[in-house]
Amino acid sequence: MSANTLLETRNLTCIRNDRRLFGGLELVLEAGQMLVVEGPNGCGKTSLLRILTGLRLADEGEVRWRGETIEKLAGDYYEEIAYVGHHDGVKRELSCLENLRLARAMGIPSALELDDVLEQVNLYVYGETEAGSLSAGQRRRLALARLLATRSILWILDEPFTSLDKASMAMFTGLFVAHIEAGGMIVMTSHHDIPLDHERIRRLDLGAKA
Amino acid sequence: MSANTLLETRNLTCIRNDRRLFGGLELVLEAGQMLVVEGPNGCGKTSLLRILTGLRLADEGEVRWRGETIEKLAGDYYEEIAYVGHHDGVKRELSCLENLRLARAMGIPSALELDDVLEQVNLYVYGETEAGSLSAGQRRRLALARLLATRSILWILDEPFTSLDKASMAMFTGLFVAHIEAGGMIVMTSHHDIPLDHERIRRLDLGAKA
Amino acid sequence: MNVQRLSLWQAFVFLLRRDLLLALRNRAEYAMPLLFFVVVITLFPLALGALPELLARIAPGIVWVAALLAAMLSLESIFRSDFDDGSLEQILLSAHPVAVLVLAKVCAHWLVTGLPLLLVAPLLAEMLGMPSAAQPMLLLTILLGTPILSLIGAIGVALTVGLRKGGIILSLLVLPLYVPVLIFAASAIENAAMGLDVTPQIYMLLAFLFLSISLSPWATAAALRMSAG
Amino acid sequence: MNVQRLSLWQAFVFLLRRDLLLALRNRAEYAMPLLFFVVVITLFPLALGALPELLARIAPGIVWVAALLAAMLSLESIFRSDFDDGSLEQILLSAHPVAVLVLAKVCAHWLVTGLPLLLVAPLLAEMLGMPSAAQPMLLLTILLGTPILSLIGAIGVALTVGLRKGGIILSLLVLPLYVPVLIFAASAIENAAMGLDVTPQIYMLLAFLFLSISLSPWATAAALRMSAG
Amino acid sequence: MFLWFHKLGSPPHFYRIAGRFIPWLNAIFMVLVLAGLYGGLILAPTDYQQGESYRIIFVHVPAAWMSLFIYVVMAVCGVVIIVWRMKLAEVVLISSAPIGASFTFLALVTGSLWGKPMWGTYWVWDARLTSELILLFLYLGVIGLHNAIEDKRIAGRAVAILAIVGVVNVPIIHYSVEWWHSLHQPASLTKFDKPSMPPSMYVPILIMALAFQVYYAAVLFQKCRAELLQRERNSRWVEEL
Amino acid sequence: MTPARKKRLALVVLMVAGVSVGVSFALQSLNQNIMFFKTPSEVRAGEAPADRLFRVGGMVVAGSVSRPGDGLTVQFDLTDNEEQVTVKYTGILPDLFREGQGIIANGRLDARGDFVAEEVLAKHDENYMPPELAEMHKAREAQQ
Ligand code: HEM
Ligand SMILES: Nc1ncnc2c1ncn2[C@@H]1O[C@H](COP(=O)(O)OP(=O)(O)OP(=O)(O)O)[C@@H](O)[C@H]1O
Ligand SMILES: Nc1ncnc2c1ncn2[C@@H]1O[C@H](COP(=O)(O)OP(=O)(O)OP(=O)(O)O)[C@@H](O)[C@H]1O
Ligand SMILES: [Mg+2]
Ligand SMILES: [Mg+2]
């Protein structure tokens, strides 16, 4: 374990419906690294990600952040991570700007202006539009814009590219690379072919493990 | 208009939030053809598909099936189409088999045994499992299995590949080709690169239209 | 394996059975209208400080208001989950007439939420000290009245199911339509308690019942089509 | 642009304001508990055939049972939509203590659904013929009692929000816990109507209020964490 | 001590121990019940006021005590679940709920049957009776909530919270007779000075109470074993059985 | 301590404070008589509400039970060993109603200061004893 290791799991096991999805999983992730979790449908990618956020309890084993278990850290851990799951976490009744302001209030705001954030995810003209009347892909972009509006080290992303058109995919891929190059960390799943072969990207094939 | 033309739209217009998504759309689709609707997020693909099913009303224009407007046909039209939308239409409390049986009861059953259908979409072992405890991709496969369990000419599919792993994507692509080769029709949207260059496949770029 | 297309009647039965099956799978949830009925009724003696004679006097009113609220709260379950998971779209796109399928769903709903009230009503009537002459009439009004509640309620749910938090809007739509049922049922029970004639009330309830069976499925189907849009 | 991290108090206020804003955007839905309250109360004169003296006697009970049911029906809105769209996960993963954020949401819920009951209560009391000596007490009990309902209810919603049709199981969980509030509030009003001492009841309501403010947010936060899992 | 606790907490160990205890518990229960009934129905004298009808006390009081006791056990399990995440506590909690509900129901029924000759009514909305009825609802709530949540580990934690919140009702039930001058009689036995009845009466009550405790333990162990098997059906120790 | 821990501690302190305030209110409340239950002494002292239902409890005075008029109406005196109140009741009495027995009556005071009961329930006290023992008690009390 190098001094840079921030996230590690010990003997992580997940059982659902009597099926052992994975067991004895030992992950180590250093600052500046990205982990892409792969595997066929139902192999437990979403479950793993939710365990890493602490939203779900592991059936065995533990997740450690900076050497402490995340249960003990609680709030301290959440200051440093951001999660975008299957659900967007976007309030339909609020406008795009209001949604981002909310995200900032709940976390640590980044230095960017919100207008610039919207500009970057190509939603600038929708700033005052209610999120409920965005299309599936636009809403996904708004969810991902949270990553820019707040400041966190570890991004945990469950199929971030769902519903995105190709231009948006390329844009976010660039963003992810910038994040890890700046010393951030990403754990993500995706069924899309991601055109990334950065030396810092590691892949975990959950399907093979099972 | 050839004798084979089954689906056509006349001057179809859709307006949402005061924005004209598309207008004067004239589509013609013959038996044995597939239409892939493309375009960036929010250009109106989902809206178009729902108008084609009759679930949504067009702001102007009409949809015709075998020369009649679909409003007039109602039940007769629904005997010949199948729709898989953003929502799976899968009941979480029912097992996979029960879900398919229900689909058959609501439509025209196909000649396949249900076990074979499940086998084909790689869910055979989940036959008795409640659909609620399937993963995102497995549930999507179950939704698409409806296409096999019932018999219909026109399939309307909104991002069928969402959440599917690569093996499943290839499998369904093959299935779609088989369907159009047997004289069926498909209207679908997808942000995935579909490895299809069959001469019967036509593309409509909604984004360009707008 | 039967790969024939189902007849309309078969489709009706199939959907009815599916809904009953779902109710069985979600037993705990579907037992709740019944429990709610019981709990609401027990609230009144608590709130009123419980004098037997007073309670007995207002018992018919309490039981029927509770039945109304219980029916209302369980209404959402007719279409909500079908709407949320997209099954409703599939029903609307079914090859069978939607009104018949809707009727199947409403029947299932009544069997699961309305009928059980019949079973506990005698017990509750006893607890509230309702005169025993009135008790058969209580059962009769519940038997005739609750299907009306389900049928009318279905229209309301169909209208509001597309709204994200339609629950309470629904009550506002549906309660006014329930009022006539409430009035006739409660007055039938009161009359029975006093040994008076109840035929006018019963005929009225029968009239409501037949009207709602024949009209509500159409209205519901139309409303669903609108909500799905 | 303020890019400072919010203090805990600021985050509390922010979330409170966000929820009030959402309520404003969904005006129609949030007006419903109030309307439900009114409708339930008007059902009773209909069901009972309206004898003024009888009504006046049971008025405190009816008003409070209606307040209880209205509060209960609006409970789901505290967390349901946040759960469905994934905002709840974001709140649980927030850098601030979840109990405080939960308290903000509950406060907003009370301001939107509990407080308005105060405004219509005098009118309804008048309608039911409640003696005017009792009316200030009615308002006081509503002021003290409805926050308790929201606070306790939040625990129930947090427990059931993960269930697809938690609505009615919720009532079973929550109503028994509401009963003490109901009993003390109704008896305070009755005593006030007779010109008797009400301090014991008021103290009891105050005790419930303080206990629930200090304990319920923790229980709710724990329950939410569990539901999200 | 802690080690012992920890060991008992491990499912396979508990499964084995419980299995060994059950026959004994059943036997002890039979003996105690027979002794209690003999003492209560035959040896105990009639009451100077109520005559023979007071003998329902030998069922009512132990059942009522059990209804409170089991809820407290559940609340304690709840704390253990929240704080230590002990799986066995989840199993004990949820297995206790139906047993507790049955005892509550029994106390309500025997109480009403007794109330008719004693008070002149089956039911009054008095503090003791009402709070006991609420207890029944709480038990049903626990059972309902547990059934409604599919993931049993989540369900365990949910009912833990509910059990802890609901435990405020227990002191209310117990002290209701003093706080509200209820129609129900004040404590005869559960008070600090000596019981207000002769030993020939209270000894059989205590024996019956003990018998009910043993019965609870026996049924609890049985239910826990079944529940454990169900939950751990794919773990190694179950497959080895 | 990290800031987050400090914050958590502050919250716990607040919670404990809230709970103590709540408990003190509860104790205040329990010090007073919540349900309307009065003893005959309190009724005589004028503490009973006029024109409102309340409950009195006490012992039926030996020899006080009479049936004036039609025979359905019962009249008896109720005592708490200090004062007495006259109770009138029309209806069926519970089996256990007898002289010397504790009862609870629900009703209101009439103009003459008599208690008109709407409901009479026999209350049992916490004492159980065999008949012989009860005889002995009575005998001993008689001696004193
Ligand atoms: C439905 C009616 C009744 C209910 C719900 C009920 C409930 C209870 C409960 C919960 C307890 C346990 C109290 C505690 O340990 O703190 C209890 C104890 C007792 N009950 Fe009842 N009861 C009812 C009727 C009666 C009647 C009619 C009698 C006879 C007068 C009676 C006599 C007793 C006695 C002697 C005890 C034991 C008191 C002690 O702890 O020393 N109960 N009852
Ligand atoms: N419920 C709604 N209310 C109002 N406007 C809506 C609603 N849903 C979508 N829109 C608007 O309609 C436009 C088209 O939406 P639609 O869902 O058809 O897009 P799409 O092409 O399917 O996009 P995507 O690729 O992101 O799924 C969007 O710009 C959106 O702003
Ligand atoms: N709510 C649930 N209850 C029970 N089992 C579940 C539930 N959700 C998922 N599962 C089971 O857990 C397994 C893993 O699910 P998970 O969602 O983690 O898969 P995934 O790798 O994210 O798949 P996908 O690529 O389809 O999203 C699946 O086999 C599924 O059967
Ligand atoms: Mg997934
Ligand atoms: Mg779309």
* Position A96 in a domain: yes
Q: Residue A64: which of A49, A54, A79 has the closest Cα?
A: A54
What are the CA-CA distances from residue C156 to residues B76, C89, D16, D70 (Å)?
Answer: 28, 18, 32, 19
| D2 contacts on A by Cβ (under 8 Å) | 109
Radius of gyration of chain A (CA): 17
Domain that holds residue F27: 1-34
pLDDT of residue B209: 47
Confidence of residue C106 (pLDDT cuts 50, 70, 90): very high
Q: So where are chain D's domains?
A: 8-228
Q: Quote the pLDDT of residue C165.
A: 58
C-alpha distance from D164 to closest chain F C-alpha (Å): 33
Nearest-CA residue for atom 2 of ligand 1: E111
Residue of B55, B105, B146 with shortest CB distance to C92: B55
Q: Is residue C227 predicted with pLDDT exceeding 90?
A: no
Give the CA dihedral A15, A18, A24, A27, nearest 10 degrees: -30
> Hey, whose CA ends up nearest to atom 12 of ligand 3?
A16
**Which atom of ligand 3 is nearest to A40's Cα?**
25
Return the partners of chain C (3 or more C-beta pairs < 8 Å): B, D, E, F
Other CB atoms closer than 10 Å to residue F61's CB: what's the count? 18
DSSP state of C178: H
Backbone angles phi, psi at D223, to 5 degrees: -65, -40
Same domain, F14 and F56: no
- C2 has a pLDDT exceeding 60: no
In a domain, B125, yes or no: yes
If you search the block for the tokens 């299932």, which residue do you land on? Answer: C108
Letter string b/e over residues A171-208, b meaning 16 or more CB atoms within 10 A of that residue's CB:
ebbebbbebbeeebbbbbbbbbebebeeeebeebebbe
Most confident of B131-140, C22-31, E5-14: B131-140
Cβ pair B104, B149 in contact under 8 A: yes
List C-alpha distances in Å: B12 to B20, B27, B47, D208, E5.
11, 9, 11, 62, 73
Average pLDDT, chain D: 86
Which chain F residues have a beta carbon less than 8 Å from that of E181?
33, 35, 37, 55, 57
Band of residue B155 on the pLDDT scale cut at 50, 70, 90: very high
Residue with more model confidence, F101 or D63: D63
Task: Give the pLDDT confidence score for residue E65 in this predicted structure.
Answer: 95
Task: Name the residue facing A18 among E85, E153, E233 (closest C-beta).
Answer: E233
Per-residue confidence band for B51, with pLDDT thresholds at 50, 70 and 90: very high
Gap from CA of E64 to ligand 1 centroid (Å) = 7
Touch test F–C: 3 Cβ pairs or more under 8 Å? yes
Q: Which of residues 167-186 of D touch C (CB under 8 A)?
A: 167-169, 171-172, 175-176, 179, 182-183, 186
Confidence of residue A155 (pLDDT cuts 50, 70, 90): very high
Tell whether the model's pLDDT for residue E4 goes beyond 80: no
- Which residues of E fall within a CB distance of 8 Å from A20? 234
pLDDT exceeds cutoff 80 at B65 = yes
pLDDT band, residue B210 (cuts 50/70/90): very low
Confidence check: pLDDT of F101 > 80: no
In this structure, the strands spanning A60-65 and A5-16 are: antiparallel
How many domains does chain E contain in total?
1
In a domain, B132, yes or no: yes
**Lowest mean pLDDT segment, chosen from B60-74, C205-219, D155-169, F129-143:** F129-143
Looking at residue D166, what is its pLDDT?
Answer: 59
- Encode pLDDT of F30-45 as tens digits: 766 555 677 888 888 8
What integer pLDDT is reported at residue C1 of this predicted model?
42
User: Residue of the nearest CA to atom 13 in ligand 3?
Assistant: A42
Residues of chain E found within 8 Å of residue C35, distances taken between Cβ atoms: 140, 144
Name the one residue in this structure whose structure tokens are 């751990």.
Answer: E232
Interface membership of D226 toward E (CB under 8 Å)? yes
Pocket of ligand 2 (CB under 6 A): A 133-138, 163; B 16-17, 21, 39, 41-47
Cβ(B134) – ligand 3 distance below 6 Å = yes
pTM: 0.82
Q: What is the rounded average pLDDT for all residues in chain C?
A: 85
Interface B:F, ≥3 CB–CB pairs < 8 Å: no
Q: Does E201 touch chain F if contact means CB atoms closer than 8 Å?
A: yes
Q: Does E119 touch chain C (CB under 8 A)?
A: no
What total of structural domains would you count in chain B? 1
Residue E41 has a pLDDT of: 86
Q: Is pLDDT at B202 greater than 70 in this prediction?
A: yes
Q: Chain D window 154-213: which residues touch E at a Cβ cutoff of 8 Å?
A: 155, 159-160, 162-163, 166, 169, 172-173, 175-177, 179-180
Spacing, Cα A173 to ligand 3 middle (Å): 26
Q: A29 - beta bridge partners?
A: A7
Give the residue from E114, D194, C51 showing the smallest Cα distance to F119: C51
In a domain, E118, yes or no: yes
E neighbours by CB contacts (3+ pairs under 8 Å):
A, C, D, F
pLDDT tens digits, E70-114: 999 999 999 998 888 788 899 999 999 999 999 999 999 999 888
Shortest Cα–Cα distance, C153 to chain D (Å): 16
Chains that touch D (3 or more CB pairs under 8 A): A, C, E, F
D42-77 residues labelled b (16+ CB within 10 A) or e (exposed):
bbbbbbbeeeeebbbbbbbbbbbbbbbbbbbbbbbb
Q: Is the pLDDT of residue A19 over 70?
A: yes
pLDDT, average across residues A144-151: 93
Number of domains in chain F: 2
**Domain residues for A146?**
88-150
Question: Which single residue is written with the structure tokens 């399928």?
Answer: C101
pLDDT value of position E218 = 94
pLDDT of C29 higher than 70: no
A&B contacts, CB < 8 Å = 74
High-pLDDT (> 70) share of chain E, %: 94
pLDDT tens profile D65-119: 999 988 887 888 889 888 888 899 999 998 888 999 999 999 999 999 999 999 8
Q: Is the pLDDT of residue C167 over 80?
A: no
d(CA A42, CA C103): 37
Q: Which of A121, A135, A138 to mutate to test the pocket of ligand 2 (most atoms within 8 A of CB)?
A: A135
Mean pLDDT of all residues in chain F? 79
- 8 Å CB contact between A65 and A52: no
Q: Write the CA distances from C120 to C20, C33, C36, C135, C176, integer angstroms.
A: 20, 12, 12, 12, 26
Please identify every stretch of chain D with a pLDDT value under 50, giving residue numbers as ranges: 1-2
Confidence class of residue A154 from pLDDT cuts 50, 70 and 90? Answer: very high
Domain assignment present for residue A138? The answer is: yes
Cβ distance F18 to D200 less than 8 Å, yes or no, reads: no
Question: CA-based diameter of chain C, in Å?
Answer: 64
Same domain as F25, residue F52: no
Phi first, then psi: what are they for C190, rounded to 5°?
-60, -45
Same domain flag for F49 and F93? yes
Answer whether E148 sits within 8 Å of C29, measured CB to CB.
yes
